[in-house]
Amino acid sequence: MAMASRPRTSTRDPEEIAHRLTVWLATRLPGARATAVTVPVANGMSSETLLFDIEHPTRLQPPFRACALRLAADPSAYTVFPVYDMVRQYRTMRLVAQHTDVPVPRVLWLEEDPGPLGAPFFVMERVEGRVPPDVMPYTYEGNWLHAASDGQRERLEAATIGLLARLHDQVPLEKAQFLTLPGDGDALHRHVTAQRAYYHWVVDGLPRSPLIEEAFDRLAHLWPRDPGAPVLNWGDARIGNVIYDGFEPVAVLDWEMAAVAPREVDLGWTLYLHRFFHDLTVASGGRGLPDFLRRERVEERYARLTGHIPRDMDFYTLYAALRQAIVMLRVAYRQAHFGEVAVPADPDTLILHHDSLRAMVQGGYWS
């Protein structure tokens, strides 16, 4: 299983965005100018990030100096997701900041009008630190997390699971009702129904994935008898969305997938997204990080912190792998749209982790 080249992440002109940002900024902070506008190399393929500094005639105190901007994806650029609700993300970050000690960047301004930059966006403080990379993944040799000691990685793991525990325990559910997904049934049914709808959107007019559809069938067989009370889920709960100072979290990012769901939805995503990168590394001949974020240790740690023993984790890790597969299929079809890859006869091969997903469907992955 080879690592694919990184697909393009934007069709926008950074220089034009920088000019328009300066014009908009003057309406919020007269006399201010956006300087040193950059697009991170590891910019995502969903909402885009721009980094900039604020220059102003008067002396500014942080965070009105170093900022980050999250901009909804260009709707003409074959987006990875069908909807980019920046208001929802903004409200989620404010909610987490108000009710928990989870380190969330301070949000400064929300702009719902797509006119200034071509899409809605919000501005937040920029937090300095380092992030475990996706490309090349942190499971490969040559990056800071792989080079760390076992004890340092254990510190990072413990602190990160602590973030999840506090998020799930500290946000009052009644305050998070705007994150309840539409539809009928309990929170888990609604979450899975939303993923089915996303899959059908991805394959509309394109080859369907037999493997993804088998995974949905397997989910029905493994469905939890009692999903438990829902909580606010981060949604994209993985270490690649955390900024660390040393090995301690200082900022939790990317709240666009936040939802009301069982705790195990976040836990399954945290566990499987590490395995996703680890498996890719092993398949490429590397050792990966087999002793990092081990399933049994994460489950035990979370239970100690919250008093909630994770249940039905075969279901939730399969669900995470299935959700990642839908994203991977959309990314591949996006690459095909831009002429970067060809669509093969078997669309399942477009899913980087098709082997591990198939093993999960067959019940042999974790053994």
Q: What is the dihedral of CA 183, 186, 187, 193, to 10 degrees?
A: -50
DSSP three-state, residue 303: helix
Q: What is the dihedral of CA 310, 279, 253, 304, to 10 degrees?
A: 20
List Cα–Cα distances, 153 to 31, 79, 104, 160, 235, in angstroms: 45, 34, 22, 10, 23
Strands of 44-115 (E only): list them. Answer: 48-55, 66-71, 107-111
40 φ, ψ (degrees, to nearest 5) = -60, 145
Residue 214 has which token pair?
A: 């088998």
Question: Is 139 within 8 Å of 286 (Cβ atoms)?
Answer: yes
What is the full DSSP assignment across 328-355? HHHHHHHHHHTTSS---SSGGGGSTTHH
What is the full DSSP assignment across 276-296? HHHHHHHHTT----TTSS-HH
Q: How many degrees, rounded to 5, is the angle at CA 321 between CA 319 and CA 323?
A: 70
Q: Which is the catalytic residue, given 74, 134, 169, 236?
A: 236
To which residue do tokens 């912190």 refer?
Answer: 305
DSSP three-state, residue 250: strand
Question: Is 129 within 8 Å of 244 (Cβ atoms)?
Answer: yes
Q: What share of the chain is helix, strand, coil (3-state, %, to 5)?
A: 45, 15, 45
The verdict on whether 113 is a catalytic residue reads no
Question: Is 163 within 8 Å of 170 (Cβ atoms)?
Answer: no
Task: Look at residues 231, 301, 295 and name the one whose alpha carbon lies nearest to residue 265.
Answer: 231
Which residues participate in catalysis according to the annotation? Answer: 236
